[in-house]
Copies of this chain bind each other. A is one copy, B any other.
């Protein structure tokens, strides 16, 4: 019985792969264990429950998204920063649909909150390139986040019913946001 050398991070990483490949709904203790070459109950030495595993995965996804946003916007400002952030967010959500889906509907949790705060911080940094009334900062931030989140989730979920180019729509959306944020 050679040990597998697992830890909480390894289990969550395997869960992330399962969620991305088979979909959020197929995230099951059995599939995660199988991927790690281990029997199902062994996972409980590293995560308390499936719910906790989902929480951890949600935090991982939010952290990765935050990193992606930070890296993408590094060194840009104004419209360039906005476009970079928007594309980075869409890329992450479409490349890791299962991972991100867990964050929606996840319960309040310090780790997830902290990661979410970093995402918000990156978006706030993008807004700094626009002259926005401090009193409206929060509203603009929420609008930006909602728009990007909504586009990406709608696309990965049903997709938009008709088939006009989605990339083109997204570039139009970036332009729409830029124009709107530029002029109060």
| Chain A residues near B (Cβ < 8 Å) | 23-25, 101, 103-106, 108, 112-113, 116-117, 120, 136, 138-140, 142-143, 145-151, 153-154, 157-158, 160-162, 164, 168-169, 172-173, 176, 179-180, 183
Contacts and interface: CB of A to CB of B under 8 A. Distances in A.
A179 B169 contact: no
A158 B24 contact: no
How many subunits of this chain does the assembly comprise? 2
Contacts of A116: 158, 161
7 contacts: A139-B173, A142-B154, A142-B160, A143-B176, A146-B154, A150-B151, A180-B180
Given A104-B153, A105-B25, A172-B136, A147 B145 contact: no
A72 B175 CA distance: 29
A143 B161 contact: no
A173 B120 contact: no
A152 to B, nearest CB: 8
Given A104-B153, A105-B101, A146 B173 contact: yes
Contacts of A161: 113, 116-117, 120
